[in-house]
């Protein structure tokens, strides 16, 4: 298959490219706002000449693609908070770029990287196939912009049921290529381990479901190989993990030092989410079966990172 990767400098996109390089013969074209950075990354990974790359301006309806994968967006809470309402324009611009192509080539599949945040800001319980998106329409806050932008894109996609568009809602994702300056719980823990300092962490009970890069690749491959459909799927591992278990394992395996406090110093860009994961296993209908639990995937990637193996080019 010939695939167009939009937003090729994102962490999850580069992880997927590495998986494609190792496990498939797909022909990829990597599009980015900074193609020179993509070129440097390909060189650092020994992939020079393997895949073409270009600026977004080179993306054309005259090219042939079997599928478009849109990774344009933000994966960092602090960045999402800083972008504010501009997230609407950015999401719409590149979504429309892909939609324009698919309208002209309806046989081309379009995979859009959405987010669990599309369900809204309330995750007092995990979501499932019956959960309704909840948006405080009369009291919208800056923490809603990211969620509403994703929900808006998904609504546009469902309004064209004749086109093969699948929205992939990512909840939590971690790999050893993670930029550890990002303000996530896991990166806060990783910095504390690396710097041998005590992590001050809130007493808030949370449950998360972390997707491993290998399972994300399995999901993408399953969606590309299945009969064309217009749908949305939620990402999930073999089992989620709660914060107490995560702290216990990281203390035992990696020497994490932590102190429970009442206040939280984390960046909250999209609202509080005690149970930010999904029980919606619709992806199984496309042949997806995760191999790793959240904890297994986290430990595996943390071991690679802490062993000092080569870091991702973008995770400086």
Asked if the structure places residue 157 within a domain, the reply is yes
Residue 160, burial from CB neighbour count under 10 angstroms (0-12, 13-18, 19+): middle
Give the domain extent around 287. Answer: 2-178+209-239+276-294
Q: Which tokens go with 113?
A: 């990287």
Confidence (pLDDT) at 160 = 97
**pLDDT-derived band at 70, boundaries 50, 70, 90:** very high
To which residue do tokens 């196939």 refer? Answer: 129
Asked if the structure places residue 159 within a domain, the reply is yes
**pLDDT-derived band at 76, boundaries 50, 70, 90:** low
Q: Is residue 74 within 8 Å of 87, Cβ to Cβ?
A: yes
Average pLDDT of the residues in 203-229 = 96
Whether the per-residue pLDDT at 267 is higher than 70: the answer is: no
Asked if the structure places residue 153 within a domain, the reply is yes
Confidence (pLDDT) at 95 = 96
Asked if the structure places residue 188 within a domain, the reply is no
Confidence (pLDDT) at 307 = 84
Whether the per-residue pLDDT at 173 is higher than 70: the answer is: yes
Confidence (pLDDT) at 179 = 79
Asked if the structure places residue 202 within a domain, the reply is no
What's the whole-number average pLDDT of the chain?
89
Total tally of structural domains belonging to the chain = 1
Q: How far apart are CA 272 and CA 141, in angstroms?
A: 13
Asked if the structure places residue 262 within a domain, the reply is no
Confidence (pLDDT) at 122 = 77
Q: Which tokens go with 19?
A: 């998986």
Confidence (pLDDT) at 311 = 42
CATH number of domain containing 34: 3.40.50.720
């Amino acid at each position: 298959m010939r695939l167009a990767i939009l937003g090729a400098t994102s962490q999850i996109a580069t992880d997927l490219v590495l998986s494609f390089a190792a496990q498939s013969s797909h022909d990829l074209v990597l599009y980015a706002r900074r193609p020179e950075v993509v070129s440097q990354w390909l060189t650092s990974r020994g992939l020079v000449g393997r895949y073409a790359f270009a600026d977004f301006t080179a993306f054309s309806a005259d090219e042939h693609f079997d599928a478009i994968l849109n990774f344009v967006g933000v994966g960092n809470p602090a960045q999402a908070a800083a972008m504010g309402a501009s997230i609407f324009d950015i999401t719409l611009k590149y979504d429309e770029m892909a939609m324009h192509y698919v309208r002209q080539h309806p046989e081309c599949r379009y995979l859009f990287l959405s987010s669990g945040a599309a369900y809204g800001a309330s995750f007092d319980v995990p979501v499932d196939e019956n959960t309704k998106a909840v948006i405080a329409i009369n009291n919208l806050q800056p923490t809603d912009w990211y969620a509403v932008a994703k929900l808006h894109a998904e609504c546009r996609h469902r309004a064209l049921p004749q086109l093969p568009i699948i929205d992939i809602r990512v909840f939590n994702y971690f790999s050893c290529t993670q930029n550890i300056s990002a303000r996530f719980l896991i990166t806060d823990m990783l910095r504390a381990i690396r710097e041998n300092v005590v992590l001050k962490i809130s007493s808030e009970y949370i449950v998360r479901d972390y997707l491993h890069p290998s399972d994300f690749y399995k999901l993408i491959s399953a969606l590309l190989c299945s009969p064309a459909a217009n749908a949305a799927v939620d990402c999930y591992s073999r089992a989620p993990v709660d914060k107490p278990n995560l702290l216990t394992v990281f203390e035992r395996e990696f020497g994490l030092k932590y102190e429970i406090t009442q206040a939280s110093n984390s960046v909250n860009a999209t609202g509080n989410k005690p149970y930010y994961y999904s029980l919606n296993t619709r992806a199984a209908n496309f042949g997806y079966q995760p191999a790793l639990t959240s904890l297994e995937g986290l430990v595996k990637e943390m071991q690679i990172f802490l062993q000092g193996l080569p870091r991702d080019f973008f995770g400086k």
